[in-house]
Amino acid sequence: MKNFKKERAEARKKAKELVSKMTLMEKASQLKYDASPVERLGVPTYNYWNEALHGVARAGVATMFPQAIGMAAAFDDEEMKKVGDIIATEGRAKYNEFSKHGDRDIYKGLTFWSPNVNIFRDPRWGRGHETYGEDPYLTSRLGVKFVEGLQGDGPVMKAAACAKHFAVHSGPESIRHEFDAKATMKDMWETYLPAFEALVTEADVESVMGAYNRTNGEPCCGHHYLMEEVLRGKWNFDGHFVSDCWAIRDFHEHHNVTKNARESAALALKRGCDVNCGNTYLHLMGAVEDGLITEEDITKSAERALTARFLLGLFDGSEYDEIPYEVVECKEHVEEALNLARKSCVLLKNDGVLPLDKSKIRTIGVIGPNADSRAALIGNYHGTSSRYITVLEGIQDEVGEDVRVLYSQGCHLYKDRVENLGWEQDRISEAVITAEHSDVVVLCVGLDETLEGEEGDTGNSDASGDKLDLHLPKVQEELIEKVTAVGKPTIVVLMAGSSIDLSYAQENCSGILLAWYPGARGGKAVADLLFGKVSPSGKLPVTFYKDLDGMPEFTDYSMKGRTYRYIEKEPLYPFGYGLTYGDSEVTAGKVLNQVTKDSDIEVEVTVENKGSRATQEVVQLYIKDLDSPLAVRNYSLCGFKRVSLEAGEKKKITFTVPNKAMSVVDEEGERHIDSKNFKIFAGISQPDDRSQALTGKKPVEMNVTLG
């Protein structure tokens, strides 16, 4: 793993020399996200705000990968490194050309405010699909590889990644500007902090972004414990810290921890927030006048901010300056995005209807508000594609002239009618007619970024972006019932970024394919899976709950009852679950070494595809502490590997389970090994009863006793 310690030291030396030539006003002007030029010193304007959640975003054309939650469902860390590298390559190509044309606008720099490694702890959170799911281990592994791909191998940093939103942040969106997320030290270090720790200490992420909310009383962009004791103290973070956008303004306007903008700017700067996304740092000079901060405070942050630009070679040049514009959305990148979309889709149910056989179908009905929706392909924080392929278009392209495709929108995404002057559910009779005239139905339902997303960006009732419950909009639930009642084999394609109540579809439909928000060409990937060109192989990175009964309040940050590690009742679809067209299972497993408190655990497992179709499978390891009262309620993911298996093929795979997997976290937040006896489960899913019932497979168990 590349560590930029040496390069950062050199860049810091150059930044220090440059900043020493600046006036106080010039230094302060470098701490806004839209940093001002200092022409006399050859410093051009620079905008730190750029986005790359699943492709270069908001600055025109770029390759669009599946939304982050979909990429997580692939359970493929090496693939995430490729994604990061492609994004950095395209970002460089765009930056090179924009700069030549004097375009240094927002979203056109090389400091990407991605990835989002918050934990998707509650299914109501509207931004959960920006994350890698509910598990800190999976989030850590995918996040580390994404950052490695984005930042490159040096000596010049290819693009700068950002771990956000530090640290305890996952809704509610509607009150995030005044909300205080109260978390125990155990929950902090067991769930909310591990991914950030991994990105800082393993991947050497260049920047960290603070959250809007308070955590345990302090605002996250001016937090003594999180920013000073943990981030720069325990973890020795040496990059730059950026505020979420206009979060510092919240200090005095909503959190009421300061009296005015000068005090807010001073508090954030003193705590180590170097770059302000927003305008509160326009008051830094006033804060100096009031004696709240010193020139030295401003100098320190200016040096850290400019160090990033030196690291990126923006003053001295680099090999990346030669990356041509033609790499943007090139054939190879588009194919990689399409490949990842195929890997990300999760087959939740199949009664044998899939894969579809074109030779046995005369007419296929494609129905639903997301069937021909571009919005359902792209998620949020997206770029622009030169071509979109919806599910309808993907199916039409796949079957060509051989099969007649009938289409009906079926209903609006959430309104009670499509045409304003029409009756309620004015498209539902067309949907029923379409089903009646079809041999098989593909029913495309779900959400898009207007129904789940970020506060202020969405079109739901309170513009918060959060969900009130797990149900689809009522018009869609009625559509599913009416179409299913026709009696034709019906496959639900769900396009959404979070846990949805699919109980009716599970009972009454022939198949369910979760496509997430699969990216610009996602409709082709869905068609490839439906017609068996590729086997589905994605796994759920979040729990699909049956309902919210017993779930703590959304504002309660306790992990009790949340996620697969703490759940106390049976889910609809468990974390780690997903079917394939093969018939794979882990048939044997053994621990290869004598395990001690100081060693990792070396494990070998045998996985076999007993089916007649080739597939990819995700082998998963879970560990359970058998002794400690401090252990998580259930068990924790501690290893995963994606493996390709031909029909009838058997493979041996080795895992190194990190020593940390055996540790527990006490009430003070301290981590240590507190047990001698553990059990490791190896399978294609969790070891829970629901997963075993859905897959028909039981994981292999291995006992571990510390020597």
DSSP string, 54-71: SSS-SSSB---PPPHHHH
552 in any annotated domain: no
Q: Are residues 355 and 312 in the same domain?
A: no
Angle between helices 295-311 and 261-271 (to 10 degrees): 60
In whole angstroms, give the CA distance from residue 367 to residue 370: 8
- Structural domain tally of the chain? 3
Q: Are residues 300 and 382 in the same domain?
A: no
Domain boundary pick from 542, 561, 595: 542
Q: Are residues 447 and 516 in the same domain?
A: yes
Structure tokens that stand for 75 in this block: 């359970």
Give residue 707's pLDDT: 86
Give residue 460's pLDDT: 54
Give residue 2's pLDDT: 85
Grouping H, G, I as helix, E, B as strand and the rest as coil, residue 444 is: strand
pLDDT in tens, 631-677: 999 999 999 999 999 999 999 999 999 999 999 999 999 999 999 99
CATH number at residue 300: 3.20.20.300
pLDDT in tens, 276-295: 999 999 999 999 999 999 99
Q: Please, are residues 621 and 639 in contact by the beta-carbon 8 Å criterion?
A: yes
Q: In terms of residue numbers, what domain contains 694?
A: 584-705
In whole angstroms, give the CA distance from residue 210 to residue 273: 8
576 in any annotated domain: no
Q: Are residues 516 and 608 in the same domain?
A: no
Closest CA to 472 of 533, 541, 411, 555: 411
Task: Report mean pLDDT in 10-residue bins for the chain, 707 residues.
Answer: 92 98 98 98 98 98 98 98 98 98 98 98 97 98 98 96 97 94 98 98 98 98 98 98 98 98 98 98 98 98 98 97 98 98 98 97 98 97 98 98 96 97 98 98 96 76 79 98 98 98 98 98 98 98 95 96 97 98 97 96 97 96 98 98 97 98 98 97 98 97 95
Give residue 1's pLDDT: 75
Q: Are residues 496 and 611 in the same domain?
A: no
pTM above 0.95, yes or no: yes
Is the sign of the CA dihedral 21, 25, 28, 32 positive or negative? negative
pLDDT in tens, 33-60: 999 999 999 999 999 999 999 999 999 9
CATH number at residue 498: 3.40.50.1700
Give residue 230's pLDDT: 98
CATH number at residue 647: 2.60.40.10
Length of the chain equals 707
Instruction: Give residue 656's Cα distance to chain centre.
Output: 25
565 in any annotated domain: no
Q: Are residues 424 and 399 in the same domain?
A: yes
Closest CA to 168 of 470, 555, 561, 463: 555
Q: Are residues 335 and 291 in the same domain?
A: no
Exposed (0-12), middle (13-18) or buried (19+): which is 469, by Cβ within 10 Å?
A: exposed
Give residue 463's pLDDT: 54
Q: Are residues 40 and 83 in the same domain?
A: yes
Q: Could you tell me the maximum CA-CA distance found in the chain, to the nearest angstrom?
A: 80
Q: Are residues 123 and 248 in the same domain?
A: yes
260 in any annotated domain: yes
Q: Are residues 316 and 367 in the same domain?
A: no
Q: Which sequence positions are flagged as catalytic?
A: 244
